[in-house]
Structure 1
Amino acid sequence: MKIGIIGAGLSGIVAARELVRRGHTVELIEKSRSVGGRLATRRIGDGRADHGAVYFTVRGDALKREVQSWMSANWVRVWYADPYPRYVAIGGMNALAKRLAEGLIVQLNERVENVQVEEDGTVTIKTDVTKRSYDRVVMTAPLPQSFELLGSLVVHVEPALQRLVYVPTFVGLFECAGDVKIGTDGILDQELVPGVLKIINNRQKGISGTSLVSVYMEETWSEDWFEHPETETLIEVERLVREEVGDIGIQTRQLKRWRYAQAKDVWHEPFYQVSHHPIYLAGDVFLESDDPSGRTRFESAYLSGLRVAEAIEKNMDR
């Protein structure tokens, strides 16, 4: 079968790898200039800063086996363990995404405009570049974006799934002078000043040769400041950082807005098939029914991609 996957984040990449392994022809369509989604790393000066996923943890056997192979390949390592290992990608989280996507067909810088099912049962994806036809389609973008692309087909999606609410997150990226220290391991994420969720020094984390500090803001703060001008927002983020850790010699500053950073609720199935259509929804918001954490994370994105690929293979003759 020919399968199209919208979104080349972790779920999309994992699904593509598994489907290719099973002998299918797969294309990933990604609106950005790189794969990875929230496995995002930015070069600033001579350093690197993660500004999406900070680290990931492992609970289940499926990801545990995969991570062991990644460690053997020198793709990931343990950053710190308190009380369980926090894994980070060597060279930044985006480097892991790029390694996982090696050998896959990826159409970058291509924005999907709509998805429709033809009379013969194939699915057409119209982008700002061309039209593409597939036997099956997997949509891994944040649900509000996927629902918009589905257009009239959204009536076939359960209302409860359509009601899931996403919240934004702002990340301030600060290039600092000298050898800055943030906590023992390069992270502060407990009892911080109101508005600040966590502060990370990417040099202490081991992905940057210079002191680049990523400051993640709380959901409510990010919602309140979402429409403010960038300069004004950065000034406030910097003020809060100084209040928490003092003067760290900030030289340059940038801001990343994640509009759909995380869902406030989750769907307790690892994927969702749009009723009677060869279209599947996947991503970190889709959790396995026995997931012990109950929240979106790296592992839920990984498992969703894996499970949707398995389901497509199982149902390919239907």
Structure 2
Amino acid sequence: MKIGIIGAGLSGIIAARELVRRGHTVELIEKSQSVGGRLATRRIGDGQADHGAVYFTVRGEALEREVQSWMSADWVRVWYADPYPRYVATDGMNGLAKHLAEGLTVHLNEYVEHVRMEKDGAVIVKTDVTERSYERIVMTVPLPQSFERLGSLVDQIEHSLRRLVYAPTFVGLFECTGDVQIGADGILDQDLTPGVLKVINNRQKGISATSLISVYMEETWSEEWYERPEAETLAEIERLVREEVGDLSIESRQLKRWRYAQAKDVWHEPFYQVSHHPIYLAGDIFLEADDPSGRTRFESAYLSGLRVAEAIEKNIGR
């Protein structure tokens, strides 16, 4: 079976790996120049900084088994444990995504414009480059982006799912000179200056040769500042982080805006099928019914990709 997956973040990659393992022909379509989605790492000067997922944790057996194999391959390691392990990729989070996507067919730098059904049951994906036909598709991009591309098919999606909304997150990236210390392990995430969610030193985290500081802002702050000029926003983030950690010798500054960083609510099923159509929605917003955390995270993205692949395999021929 030929299956298309829109979005080469973690959910899309995991779904693709599982479907390929089961013998299907799978193509990932990704608008960016690299796989990974929020498994994002940026090179700055002689160092690099994660600016999407900071780390991930493990609660369930499925991901635990995978992580043990990733550790054996030296793809990930434990950063610190307080009280349970925080895992990071050894060469930045995007490096893990690239390892996982190795061997998969990925069409990078392609923007999906719309998805439509044909009378013969085929699903046509129109991009800014070409049209492709599939027997099944999985859409793993944030829901607002999926809904926009589905056109009138959105009317067949439950209203409660269509009402789910996301909050943005801003991340300031600061290249610093000298031996900067951020807490004992390179992270501050408790009792911070209002507006600041996390402060991370990527050198202490073990992925950067230089002190690159990632400053994650709270969703309310990010919403309030979303339309402001970049220079003004960076200046305010810098002021707040200096208030938190003291003086820093900063050589350069960059800003990352994540428009759909965190879902304000979640869907308590690991994927969603659009009516009777061979179109599935997946991603970190889709949680298993017994998920103990109740929030989006690395593991929910992983499980959503795995479960939607299992469902497609199970439903073949029905």
TM-score (normalizing by structure 2): 1.00
User: In 1, distance between residues paired with 2:106 and 2:179?
Assistant: 39
Shift of 1:248: 1.6
User: In 2, distance between residues paired with 1:36 and 1:264?
Assistant: 22
User: In 1, distance between residues paired with 2:248 and 2:292?
Assistant: 38
User: In 2, distance between residues paired with 1:72 and 1:242?
Assistant: 39
User: In 2, distance between residues paired with 1:305 and 1:39?
Assistant: 15
Shift of 1:91: 0.6
Structure 1: unaligned runs, 5 residues or longer:
none
Code of the residue aligned with 1:228 in structure 2: it is R
Code of the residue aligned with 2:32 in structure 1: it is S
User: In 1, distance between residues paired with 2:317 and 2:310?
Assistant: 13
User: In 2, distance between residues paired with 1:6 and 1:254?
Assistant: 28
What SS does structure 1 have at the residue aligned with 2:269?
coil
1:269 corresponding residue in structure 2: 269
Code of the residue aligned with 1:229 in structure 2: it is P
Give 1:77-92 correspondences, 5 Å limit.
77-92=77-92
Note the alpha carbon deviations across 1:27-77, whole angstroms, 9 max, x for none.
Answer: 000000000000000000000100000000000000000000000000000
Give 1:280-299 correspondences, 5 Å limit.
280-299=280-299
What SS does structure 1 have at the residue aligned with 2:28?
strand
Code of the residue aligned with 1:63 in structure 2: it is L
Shift of 1:14: 0.1
Cα RMSD (Å): 0.3
Note the alpha carbon deviations across 1:239-278, whole angstroms, 9 max, x for none.
Answer: 0011001112111000000000011000000000000100
TM-score (normalizing by structure 1): 1.00
User: In 1, distance between residues paired with 2:41 and 2:200?
Assistant: 13
- 1:144 aligned to 2:148? no
What SS does structure 2 have at the residue aligned with 1:257?
strand
2:94 corresponding residue in structure 1: 94
Shift of 1:315: 0.2
Code of the residue aligned with 2:188 in structure 1: it is L
User: In 1, distance between residues paired with 2:271 and 2:262?
Assistant: 16
1:204 corresponding residue in structure 2: 204
What SS does structure 1 have at the residue aligned with 2:95?
helix
User: In 1, distance between residues paired with 2:237 and 2:317?
Assistant: 54
What SS does structure 1 have at the residue aligned with 2:52?
coil
User: In 1, distance between residues paired with 2:176 and 2:6?
Assistant: 37
User: In 2, distance between residues paired with 1:306 and 1:147?
Assistant: 22
1:154 corresponding residue in structure 2: 154
1:242 corresponding residue in structure 2: 242
Code of the residue aligned with 1:177 in structure 2: it is T
User: In 1, distance between residues paired with 2:143 and 2:294?
Assistant: 18
User: In 1, distance between residues paired with 2:276 and 2:155?
Assistant: 12
1:132 corresponding residue in structure 2: 132
User: In 2, distance between residues paired with 1:127 and 1:170?
Assistant: 28
Code of the residue aligned with 1:47 in structure 2: it is G
Indicate the percent of aligned positions where both proteins have the same amino acid.
83
2:307 corresponding residue in structure 1: 307
Structure 2: unaligned runs, 5 residues or longer:
none
User: In 1, distance between residues paired with 2:223 and 2:296?
Assistant: 19
User: In 1, distance between residues paired with 2:277 and 2:58?
Assistant: 33
User: In 1, distance between residues paired with 2:58 and 2:241?
Assistant: 30
Aligned length: 318
